[in-house]
Amino acid sequence: MKSLLRITGVTLVMVLVFASCKKSVPKQVRFIPKDASFVIGINPKNLNGKLAKSNISLDSLFKSALADNADANDVQKWDDLKNSGINFQSDVYAFVQIKGSIMSGSSTTLGAVAALDDATKFEAYIKKQKPGITVQKANGFSFATIQNSLAIGWSGDIVVLAGNPNTHSMLDTTANATAGAAQQQQVLADIFALKEEASVASIAEFRDLTATKADALLWTNSSNTLNTAIPMIAMTKASDLMKDSYGAGFVNFEDGKVAGEFKYYANKAFGDILKKYAGPTVDMGMVDQYPSANIDGFGVFSFNPQLITAIVQFIGLDATANSYLNSSMGFTLDDVTKAFKGDFAIIASDAGEKEVTSPYNPALTYKQSTVKYLFNARVGDKAAYTKVTAALAAKGVLVANAGGYTISPVPGIAASIDDKNVLVASDSALLLDYKAGKGKATLAADVKDKVKGSATAMYFDIAKIMTGFTPAPADTTKTAIHQLALKTFRDAYFASDNYDGKAMKSIFEMRTVNEKENSLASIVKFSAGSARLAKIEEKKANADALITAPVDTVAAPAVPAH
């Protein structure tokens, strides 16, 4: 008896521990398929709260935007939606589910899920918005077909909007309406019938994501997406690398910036490869060497090139790849990957426009976009480099010179290849200055700190890029919108680490000019201001069209005298 009680006690403790470890999730995610390719979650309460701190109301913004709309009922529809019974204090989720195969083709289901406070109130809302609509009941939920490719269903505390736009034409015919309604009803039935183990709620990484305090959540399912987009992958071992591989991220609107984090979770097979062939961290010296203080942006990447060889070997295509390369070029895939150290960089500067004379009419000029750039790839194994470059030179791809090689002449491109670097630039002067070490690059210390130690880093000076593309002074609307943008957006960066055995972490940040204002408020103000200016321009254009419209000067036929 004592042994039985002891076993029972231990079992009970294990059950309680397991139950406590399994994080609770919002009820909405139970209605999102486990194989959904993309999921986005929005926290309306957080967003409204951040706007309110800047004295901005979505309600007033929406009504202001509709003030001049020909359909006066839109304002009432907005009020109706707010009072429809949907719980806008809880998260709202949208998802895309992509299925398919080589034999059956692809099929896409779009859906949105929200919490519901009052099902009776919501049904009344639906009937008011679409008079004459038929509300039906099936398997514990009510539903109505909105159109051929869209239906809405609700139960006691959940509302789901879903449809399959690929199934039937949206043309308003009896046949399409009948077939479309039946299909969308089945889509809803499948969603409401989901068991927890068939939903994203069953994925541990997704449960962890929903526990994150964020304004918006992002989820991706790599295996399902790639296998559907490229069906041939499902027929190879490449699908084993993508199976059970997920991406989980979040975005927060903070004062002066939009900040986000993203994690890529690899399965064991791919994770083992990523860990074994983890690369170095970025070499920012490749950017510092750039001979201009007017940098618009850069991308720096560092990885172990042998990772490519390992992936090809896992898939089982190494023999085919090596046979093809050896017979056609004279080197193998391993030679190519060994020839590079794994440090790559691309830097751009002086983006803008210049006046160009038309080659067809010297009296006409137009603006042409310009940008200076340079690409640098560090050379690795010298023996592999020599083998590859010699083979490419024999094929006429490379041309030997005193310093090594260059690329066969390509208009607008300068290149230099030696046993240290592979360089490609927008012009020869830039290339020579870079090789000579005449570095002038100046980057903010905080930018360097943020990307330090990363495997991948990218940076864009949004304000500087916009400054290079200035609208014509005569175009007052575009000029005003351009000025609004300059007062709103500053810069952005992205950085990603090496795989740490569990996940590959990335961070993103877009900074706004006003550091004391929430970035969401800054973006909303910019959007509202741009819309208002565009509306003024539209009214002006319509008025000018009326003024310049041709007058009908055809004389009326003469009336015969009696």
One domain, residues 182 and 34: yes
Please say whether the beta carbons of 375 and 417 come within 8 A: no
One domain, residues 316 and 449: yes
Looking at 327-452, which runs of residues are DSSP E strands? 340-357, 365-379, 398-401, 404-407, 414-417, 421-425
pLDDT at position 229 is: 58
pLDDT at position 386 is: 95
For residue 103, being part of any structural domain is answered with yes
Residue 106: both structure tokens together: 């692809």
Please say whether the beta carbons of 225 and 243 come within 8 A: no
For residue 261, being part of any structural domain is answered with no
> 190: closest CA among 309, 40, 72, 32?
32
Number of domains in the chain: 2
Please say whether the beta carbons of 466 and 485 come within 8 A: yes
Which residue, 421, 445, 473, sits at the end of a domain?
473
For residue 267, being part of any structural domain is answered with no
One domain, residues 74 and 193: yes
Q: What are phi and psi of 414, to 5 degrees?
A: -115, 145
One domain, residues 462 and 318: yes
> What pLDDT digit, counting tens, does each position of 478-531 carry?
999 999 999 999 999 999 999 999 999 999 999 999 999 999 999 999 998 998
> 24: closest CA among 270, 278, 208?
208
Axis-axis angle for helices 476-486, 519-548 (nearest 10): 180
Which residue, 473, 489, 512, sits at the end of a domain?
473
One domain, residues 284 and 189: no
> What pLDDT digit, counting tens, does each position of 65-83 carry?
665 554 556 677 788 888 9
> What pLDDT digit, counting tens, does each position of 539-559 carry?
877 777 777 666 555 554 555
One domain, residues 326 and 442: yes
Domain range for 341 is: 279-473
CA angle 183, 186, 188 (to 5 degrees): 115
One domain, residues 332 and 438: yes
One domain, residues 153 and 291: no
One domain, residues 178 and 296: no
Please give the model's pTM, rounded to 2 decimal places: 0.85
For residue 13, being part of any structural domain is answered with no
For residue 384, being part of any structural domain is answered with yes
For residue 440, being part of any structural domain is answered with yes
| Mean pLDDT for back-to-back runs of 10 residues, the chain (562 residues) | 42 36 79 95 94 84 61 72 91 89 70 95 91 87 85 93 68 59 85 94 95 95 68 69 91 97 95 92 93 93 94 91 93 96 96 86 84 96 96 92 85 90 95 90 84 93 94 89 96 95 95 96 92 84 70 52 48
pLDDT at position 13 is: 37
pLDDT at position 5 is: 38
Write the DSSP string, 215-239. SEEEEEEHHHHHHHHSGGGGGSTHH
Alpha-carbon distance of 541 to 527, in angstroms, equals: 21
Which residue, 430, 445, 473, sits at the end of a domain?
473
